[in-house]
Amino acid sequence: MLKFPIYLDYSATTPVDPRVAARMIPWLTEHFGNPASRSHAYGWEAEAAVEEAREQVARLVNADPKEIVWTSGATESNNLAIKGAAHFYSGKGKHIITVRTEHKAVLDTFRELEREGFEATYLDPQENGLVDLDAFRAALRPDTVLVSIMFVNNEIGVIQPIAEIGEICREKGIVFHVDAAQATGKVEIDLDRLKVDLMSFSAHKTYGPKGIGALYVRRKPRIRLEAQMHGGGHERGLRSGTLATHQIVGMGEAFRIAREEMGAENERIRMLRDRLMKGLTDIEATYVNGDMEARVPHNLNISFAYVEGESLIMAIKEVAVSSGSACTSASLEPSYVLRALGRDDELAHSSIRFSIGRFTTEEEVDFTIDLLHRKIGKLRELSPLWEMVKEGVDLSTVQWAHH
């Protein structure tokens, strides 16, 4: 039995795994202590749970638990990493580099630093969404202090060459931050080998709860940060504020499950994704956005030409998907990520991100394929652009009445 709407938006957020929820509940109810309370057992047991979770998170990415700092989520981690490092090392230089296809949490933070007097370079990705290493090298300057590049893109799922970029940064002594919110449980992350100095994590993209994340801060060589939230000196002074024990426990359990199950899970998800891709690319004039090799198995981003994205979303109410990233999709703007890939605007307007996850079934995928075939057909019947294309008109030669 299918349950509607079918959830294919795992990159926006994931359900909390029932095993995770089961671990969290006791820490909400009977074990309610403040982990900073040093004078009684309520506090001690909460602190022990927090430390166990820290170890679970560290193990997934092969880091030392002492390198993990709790935050309220990846957005805060990105802010802390980027502003914290840029401020601390601003004496060495004020040039910072990122990519146009980063998450808003990184881009908006960069803009804030620009207003403060930093100079930012926004790299254009290649057409497949990947960073061009030569262009990256060329962008480096003697006063470059920080590079921030995401591990896995939230819209198109491509995996950036983090290992290579890390080597270059380390060689030049530049702090390298990686937003890995979309990467945990999907790609192997070995911080012992990767030359990454700071890495942001989120729980709710990996079957953990919302409202909790972490920042990896390398100890060897030691990376220093200026704290962004001050107070009681929690998290070795890097992030003050009462720790939400139940959420931390949830993130730890979610990351434990990810580590143990990601191998088998990703194979299953890849099969489903490939099935979906095959079924959808059968439709005329469809284009997959982003590289298919360097890509997480969960993601399929497709442009259906000559069909507008929002009307498509309305037409396929039975499936919950996303056009553009969740944060920006309230606006009418076409996805800035696809624009950065150099996609035509009309293609950008009709892109849909399907993201598959732990609870997706083959039946759901098959239903989705059939639904898309029907609805794309209907909307193209309605589309004057489709009609023109079928009549042999080259749309790029048409003079549109712009508003």
Residues tagged active-site: 327
112 or 119: whose CB is closer to another protein?
112
Q: How far is the CB of 201 from another protein (least distance, A)?
A: 13
The two beta strands, 319-320 and 6-7, are parallel
Within positions 56 to 85, which residues make up the interface with another protein, using CB under 8 A? 72-76, 78-79
Phi, psi of 140 (to 5 degrees): -70, 145
CA nearest to 255, candidates 47, 59, 63 = 59
159-188: which residues touch another protein (CB under 8 A)? Answer: none
Site for another protein in 239-258 (CB under 8 A): 240-247
Three-state DSSP at 202 gives strand
In the range 271-330, which residues lie near another protein by CB under 8 A?
Answer: 306-308, 310-311, 313-314, 317, 320-322, 326-330
Nearest to another protein of 138, 382 (CB atom): 382
Kindly tell me which residue out of 69, 105, 191, 272 binds another protein, with binding defined by CB under 8 A. 105
Size of the site for another protein (CB under 8 A): 99
User: Per-residue string for binding with another protein, 3-32, x by CB under 8 A?
Assistant: --x-x-x--xxxxx-x--x--xx--xxxxx
Q: Strand (E) positions, 231-294?
A: 286-288
Report the residue number, 171 or 345, with the smaller CB distance to another protein. Answer: 345
Is 74 in contact with 274 (CB distance < 8 Å)?
Answer: no
Closest-CA residue to 284 (of 393, 377, 365): 377
- Residue closer to another protein by CB (options 244, 302) is 244
Task: Please say which residue, 260 or 310, places its beta carbon nearer to another protein.
Answer: 310
Site string for another protein, 203-232 (x = CB under 8 A): -x----xxxx---------------xxxxx
Which residues have CB under 8 Å from 143's CB, separation 6+?
Answer: 92, 93, 94, 95
Cα(260)–Cα(264) distance, rounded to whole angstroms? Answer: 9
Work out how close the CB of 212 gets to another protein at its nearest, in angstroms, rounded to a whole number: 7
Residues 6+ apart with CB under 8 A from 185: 60, 206, 207, 255, 258, 259, 262, 265
